[in-house]
Structure 1
Amino acid sequence: MPTPLYDPFPKYLQIRDILLRRFAGLAEGTRLPTEADLSAEFMVSRVTIRNVLNTLAEEGVIARRPRLGTYLLKPPPPPLDDRLTGPIEDMTALGLPAWTQAIDHGFVPAAADVAAALGLAAAVEIYRVRRVRFLSGGPLLVLEAFFPEDIGHLLAGHRREGSLFVPILQELLGNDVREDYQQIDALTASAEMAQHLQIDPGAAVLCVKRLFVDGAGRAIAYFKTNFRADRYFYSIKLPKPAPGSGSRRQPPNGTNRPSPERF
């Protein structure tokens, strides 16, 4: 099995984002958790946490004082609407050392799951683009992007290697382009996927599927982003329950779901 060679920059990026969102609701001067506490919470090394905190200190968000701890210096503003953002967009915005390598692009018959996602007939011709995204010296993800044929012809005429698709779609179709849903699957790498990600066949892969629609609700783009599981994790911030609603709610229709305390 290959030896991991890369620093966990995607985890670093997401931990930074989680902490910034937490800090937005705190008062200036609030004492913050220690490196050891955060390391245990996120299940990463203290070196990773230290890098995150040092970056936040350099940005003027927190202050770190020997023997006195870490304090919130300047609460960040609440996060903006991020429905059109994702890992690739975040890495680009933060200036992280990421780059893209093309695998292939062109018109192909739609696989059954892709056709269903785009609301098209099975095997109809679609435009497919596949890329490998590298971060900090090694492969992080394989992106598979699928578009209806007419959208594909537009994109083929405006193809810019490594460019982000959503801004191009907004440029071509107007700003009324939105993400309709996400689905996250735990998969194992095929031989081809393993070759692109430089992992063993059958190794764990996290697949994030995203569907984008236009103002009329028509599906215009379907993305499958296949991440190396050892270089990326996915997190969301859940809202607090409304006062009086209780801390537990029964699932609908009498279905049973695993208790989160078991995991």
Structure 2
Amino acid sequence: MAAALASLEFSSGERKSGRRLINAALRDPTENAVAQAEFEAQRSRFEIPISPVDVPGSHEARTRDLAEHAEWQAALFAADHWRADQAFDPDAAIHLSYLAAVGTEDFQLSRDAARAGLVASPRNPTLLNNLAFALANLGELREAASLLDKAQDAGGLDAGDTITCTATSGLIAFRAGNLERGRSLYREAFEFARKKELTGYAGLAAAYWLQEEARVTPVPDAKLVASVETAVRASGEASARTVLDRAERMLGRPVATEPIAAEKNRPQGRIADS
């Protein structure tokens, strides 16, 4: 109950009261309380007085905490346990498909997790997008485009959904050889994310844009590279840094080693290349 009340307090801007309720919820925490506390800590950028990794059974909270610190294999393991515990929870399938694709580039696992989640939530736009992303990376472009159309037609899309679907359209265009359309779509996703001040989405979309450029252009435009690096740093998003590192390795550029800052407006399980 205290964790639920804390969420209401944070949503209404009452941070001090929210943190007091979070502390109360964590005195003898349930798995749901730990997961809620971890979510609010990430959203409002504060430290919780307990490590989710140390709480038995808190698979959701462990998944979020490990992903925040770019511990991808461990996060993937926790997400798989989360899904096993809550097979019909779309968030579990969303995070598993996201971590498999973004964190470890296991696109087959990402595909399978998204498909399993769609059995219970067939119109979930994030799952449809994540499946489209995985399939595009596996070369199944026609099915990926069809699924993305379904995601965009699902209704009720928020700004994050719009950004991820637009960026995934850019990925599909790049892989189909339509480079100018791919660039235009990535630019649209990136600029819209910046307009909405969703820095996490902007950073991840920008990083994936550069990765696609690296696949087709040995020496991408220097201004684009600088813009992407700036966006990733501003995002503080571990996923964006991981993707940027891959892109820069593809380009033979030195990989930065600065620590990831606290995440802001992070894409919760949505693949922003995707």
TM-score by length of 1: 0.24
Which has the larger share of helix?
2
Which has the larger share of strand?
1
TM-score by length of 2: 0.23
